[in-house]
Amino acid sequence: MKTYDIVIIGGGPAGLAAAVSVVKNGIRNVLILERDGELGGILNQCIHNGFGLHTFGEELTGPEYADRFIRQVKELDIPYKLNTMVMDISNERVVTALNREEGLFEIKAGAVILAMGCRERPRGALNIPGYRPAGIFSAGTAQRLVNIEGYLPGREVVILGSGDIGLIMARRMTLEGAKVKAVAELMPYSGGLKRNIVQCLDDFGIPLKLSHTVVDIKGKERVEGVTLAKVDEKGKPVPGTEEEYSCDTLLLSVGLIPENELSRDMGVKLNPVTSGPSVNESLETSIEGVFACGNVLHVHDLVDFVSQEAETAGRNAAHYILNQKENKDTIEKQQEITIISENGVRYTVPEKISPARMDEKLTIRFRVGGVFKNCYSSLYLNNDRILHKKRLIMAPGEMEQLMLTKEQLEKYSDLKKITIKIESSGVMSSEK
């Protein structure tokens, strides 16, 4: 059995950035395991631009952004195995994997970084009535067919769900000559970035029908049309609001799910809101020496944030290995304080913070559960509000973040709780 200091599961944007960070922080004995035939992950099929503004200060396409990190991996001579499926990870961090060259093999890892990404929610999770004709695709599958395989899935298209992939595919299908008749969204707000609504729908005159869903699919061999209906506050179709759309293709952009089967099987505690691992300020999961980053942790809207998060996970995994080597007895469990989400905040990453282990600065990322206008995102230590960030609008489709410093935490020797909440402009509180 081969032994590596750190094994990274996934060679997409998170895995690549984590690997580079590991090496730059002093650990050379690292290995990337990737199930696809090339590094880069989902970025390889995202040929539109808009990537890299935060990381590189310029707009790149997905493949260009991935290439920046692939080049670093190769320049640093970081080993990787392609076409390799990880089958299991034990609590002792023994990784069981499979590929054509080596068959089934095991690797012992000093630390593991989970970077498996996410997958699309399938039609089966939606309970849409009707037959199962050809012409129903997830938006990501359609993106791969158009951008990599060179096939056009259909000529007349309806899209269900206004996630970023669905919005981008509305524009892509239009540019390829298809007619996108409507984008329907179950919620009263879009799940995508505001800029994608403007650039992908408004600029092409594609209607966005909020609080609508598909209630019927017509056609047996091939999709012939769909029926859209307005929904009430509980998401139930309103009788009498049905609209018929003739089409040969239905694209589904109805949410992403972190790929956490491996995490669950090895006993990692998962957050019920994100479906990703619960992590502390080091992005370490409930199992010591196992870290998580990227879309396997929680679904991101910008790949730049994935890279930042992966850099943190790689650095902390490297520090974990170095500390283990120096003196295993010095590693002790420090007091951890749970971050409480209130008043519209759905979740935070990290969920727990140990002031003793924390870096000088910590970025806390979170999403809200609805649309909030003219408000503040606030952070409390005990009952004192120390951060109060003005926001004109906050929506579930866009990640929010607050920056907490170690200096702020050290002022509270009796710190019992950390709270993040959304407040209206009229809310007053004692500040310290």
* Cα-trace Rg, the chain: 23
Say which residues have a Cβ less than 8 Å from residue 254's Cβ, sequence separation at least 6: 120, 121, 125, 126, 160, 161, 163
Three-state SS at 202: helix
What are residue 255's phi and psi, to 5 degrees?
115, 155
DSSP result, 222-278: B--EEEEEEB-TTSPBPTT--EEEE-SEEEE---EEE--HHHHHTT--B-TTTSSB-
Q: List the beta bridge partners of residue 368.
A: 345
Smallest CA-to-CA distance from 135 within 13, 247, 299 is with 247
Q: What count of residues does the chain have?
A: 432
Q: What is the pTM of this model?
A: 0.91
Cα of 86 vs its chain's centroid, Å: 20
Under a CB-based contact definition with an 8 Å cutoff, are residues 74 and 124 in contact?
Answer: no
Cα of 215 vs its chain's centroid, Å: 29
d(CA 60, CA 29): 31
Q: List the beta bridge partners of residue 402.
A: 364
Task: List, in sequence order, the alpha helices (H) in 11-89.
Answer: 13-24, 62-75
Helix or strand holding residue 32 (H, E): strand 30-33
pLDDT, residue 334, reads 64
- pLDDT tens, 327-345? 444 445 567 899 999 999 9
pLDDT, residue 264, reads 95
pLDDT, residue 325, reads 55
pLDDT, residue 428, reads 38
Say which residues have a Cβ less than 8 Å from residue 210's Cβ, sequence separation at least 6: 185, 187, 188, 189, 190
d(CA 202, CA 420): 34
pLDDT, residue 290, reads 96
Residue ranges of the chain whose pLDDT lies below 70: 125, 325-334, 425-432
Say which residues have a Cβ less than 8 Å from residue 321's Cβ, sequence separation at least 6: 5, 6, 27, 110, 111
Tokens representing 46?
Answer: 């995202």
Instruction: Compute how many other C-beta atoms are within 10 angstroms of the C-beta atom of residue 239.
Output: 8
Tokens representing 47?
Answer: 């040929």
Percent helix, strand, coil in the chain (nearest 5)?
Answer: 25, 35, 40
What are residue 284's phi and psi, to 5 degrees?
-90, 135
Say which residues have a Cβ less than 8 Å from residue 140's Cβ, sequence separation at least 6: 42, 45, 120, 165
Under a CB-based contact definition with an 8 Å cutoff, are residues 54 and 31 in contact?
Answer: no
pLDDT, residue 431, reads 35
Instruction: Compute how many other C-beta atoms are within 10 angstroms of the C-beta atom of residue 106.
Output: 13
Instruction: Compute how many other C-beta atoms are within 10 angstroms of the C-beta atom of residue 202.
Output: 12
pLDDT, residue 45, reads 96
- pLDDT tens, 14-64? 999 999 999 999 999 999 999 999 999 999 999 999 899 999 999 999 999
Tokens representing 214?
Answer: 């598909």
